[in-house]
Chain A
Amino acid sequence: MTPNPAGPEPGPEIVARQAVMALCADASRTELEVALTRLDVPAAEDLRAPETGLVMATGRIGGDGRPFHVGEVSVTRAAIRLADGGTGFAYHLGRDRTKARLAAILDALWQDPARRAHVAAALADAANRAEADRRKAARQTAATRVEFLTVARGED
């Protein structure tokens, strides 16, 4: 199997969509449910029923060389279509089909420029929580930063 190439550099619209997808992937199911209650959501139908499968995670020899297969990750995907025509997709680590479907709805809503700011606002709590978690972990790690000294042995 050939590793999945990252492809050409995505444009700013895609980069912004990726950021929202990453936020939804990191969020809990409850956080996505709360975000959707803050939005005016049209009915959504499944383009494809939520499904759990595998993605083979590839690493690189030496961290930056030829790819190799490290092992698989469980992934759940969902694809939906809103009653007003927009489509949304989600691929998340794990096996939570409900969560993936919620994220697909948020992806569809976000792609509508008129709704984008509302989606961002609805997800603000989850974004703030994720940022606080990251910051706390970074601070805890920083407290374990170590300065080793070599000690000359007094042999002469």
Chain B
Amino acid sequence: MYVAVKGGEAAIDNAHRLLAEARRGDTSVPELSVAQIREQMALLVDRVMTEGSLYDPDLAALALKQARGDLVEAVFLVRAYRTTLPRFGASVPLETGAMAVARRVSATFKDLPGGQVLGPTFDYTHRLIDFALAAEGETETAAEAEPRADAALCPRVTDLLAQDGLIEASPPDEGAPVGDLTREPVDYPADRALRLQALARGDEGFVLGLAYSTQRGYGRTHPFVGEIRVGEVAVEFVPEELGFAVPLGRVQLTECQMVNQFKGSGAAPPQFTRGYGLSFGQSERKAMAMALVDRALRAEELGEPVVSPAQDQEFVLAHCDSLQATGFVEHLKLPHYVDFQAELELVRRLRAEFEHRSEPVEMQEAAE
């Protein structure tokens, strides 16, 4: 049990003033603007939006500035902010098939209708520190080329496989209500939609580690990246007063279709199975890790033995949220004086009992 403490107001106020000065850093160095963070730390902003579970690049950039770049603290600020806002409703499901693709790659087919485009990627860079970036200077402009006629049409790789029945279909939309873990606590077993919601907002490092564990044999799923696509998708919402879909604007998303080894039965021939990942912004690592863990969590549904952490939905869902995890871990540093006093008394009593018990034994040993 946690017993509260009182006092320390002046020290806390002064600590927060000191924090403000530390946040600003050396005043001879120009201050960062929110727009600079949004534009130049874009992938960090994307991660705050994804794990904060709120798409708003300016807000995520501001949270990062306030948090001195501490990712989990920024997620905390964003999550706290969202609780102050009313919810107008849920969007029309996002149509990732109609994405304006800025990047699209497949590890399964080299020739795809619509083609593969690398977009702005770290892939194939040499990972050598570029000291030229330490000096201010002009950036080389990006190359341009005329898009080919087929560029606007990018069917999903999974749809290509589905034409021959080689891959399982997505679970059908039966119009049932969709669980929302921000509104009701999670009941286990949780369905796939709820699991995907938890993974989408889950800590990238934790989900990545679990995904890696499946590759190393803890719940192996034999994955291939069917397709990763990054780009903008229109968000639509149907307000009651209008009764038709209103376009809200466009959000950048990353989608990963993972293609995994087969499942068949006496009744159905073998087919590839699937894992799915979707995240805000350009967050490929997260979307890939999410897709791997999504597939691992389907173990029971697909008749696989549930023996590894990444297949255990209660383990994964209860621990993947960075804010919940940090809350419980970091609360340990708050004053626990009363708790600890009780522990001290207990350990002293146990030691006294131990000494009392051992005394006669020692005397006997001395006598021998």
Residues of A within 8 A of B (CB): 1-7, 10, 14, 18, 21-22, 25-26, 51-75, 77, 79, 89, 91-95, 134, 136-150
Contacts and interface: CB of A to CB of B under 8 A. Distances in A.
**Chain A CB within 10 Å, residue with most, of B91, B169, B280:** B91
B278 A53 contact: no
Given A4-B238, A68-B194, A93-B55, A75 B97 contact: no
A116 to B, nearest CB: 18
Contacts of A79: 241
B234 A22 contact: yes
Given A21-B246, A26-B249, A63-B156, A4 B89 contact: yes
Residue in B101, B174, B180 whose Cβ sees the most chain A Cβ within 10 Å: B180
Chain A: interface secondary structure? Answer: mixed
A74 B53 CA distance: 10
29 contacts: A1-B89, A1-B177, A22-B247, A22-B249, A53-B88, A54-B54, A54-B82, A54-B86, A56-B89, A60-B93, A61-B171, A64-B97, A66-B172, A66-B192, A68-B196, A69-B90, A71-B54, A74-B55, A77-B88, A91-B237, A93-B55, A95-B58, A95-B59, A139-B146, A139-B147, A141-B151, A144-B118, A145-B116, A145-B117
A55 B235 contact: yes
Given A53-B85, A57-B235, A71-B54, A18 B246 contact: yes
Residue from the set A73, A79, A146 with the largest chain B CB neighbour count within 10 Å: A73
Contact of A89 (B59, B88, B100, B242): B242
B119 A144 contact: yes
A143 B145 contact: yes
B196 A54 contact: no
Given A21-B247, A141-B102, A3 B90 contact: yes
- Which of A58, A63, A92, A95 has most chain B Cβ within 10 Å? A63
B278 to A, nearest CB: 5
A93 B182 CA distance: 21
Q: Which of B82, B173, B280 has the most CB of A within 10 A?
A: B173
Contacts, number: 271
Interface stretch (B130-138, B207-215, B250-258, B358-366): B250-258
A89 B46 CA distance: 29
B314 interface: no
Contacts of B56: 73-74, 93-95
Interface in B160-194: 169-178, 180-183, 192-194
A70 B169 CA distance: 20
B244 A58 contact: no
Contact of A61 (B183, B192, B251): B192
B317 to A, nearest CB: 13
Contacts of A68: 178, 192-194, 196-197, 200
Contacts of A89: 239, 241-242, 246
A3 B93 contact: yes
Contacts of A147: 110
A73 B242 CA distance: 20
Q: Which interface class (under 10, 10 to 19, 20 to 34, 35 or more) fits B? A: 35 or more
Contacts of A1: 89-90, 177-178, 180, 183
Contacts of B118: 144-146
Given A137-B102, A146-B117, A56 B151 contact: no
A3 B86 contact: no
A25 B93 CA distance: 19
A68 B170 CA distance: 12
B41 interface: no
Nearest to B143: A143
A52 B56 CA distance: 12
Given A72-B55, A74-B54, A74-B85, A3 B92 contact: yes
B115 interface: yes
B245 A18 contact: yes
Contact of B55 (A14, A51, A73): A73
B50 interface: yes
Given A6-B236, A6-B238, A139-B146, A56 B248 contact: no
A93 B235 contact: yes
B201 interface: yes
Contacts of B119: 141, 144
Q: Output the residue of B97, B158, B236 with the most chain A CB within 10 A.
A: B236
A62 B276 contact: yes
A141 B147 CA distance: 8
B51 to A, nearest CB: 9
Interface in B72-91: 82, 85-91
Contacts of B173: 60, 65-67
Contacts of A134: 100
Contacts of A63: 96-97, 156, 158, 170, 255, 257, 276
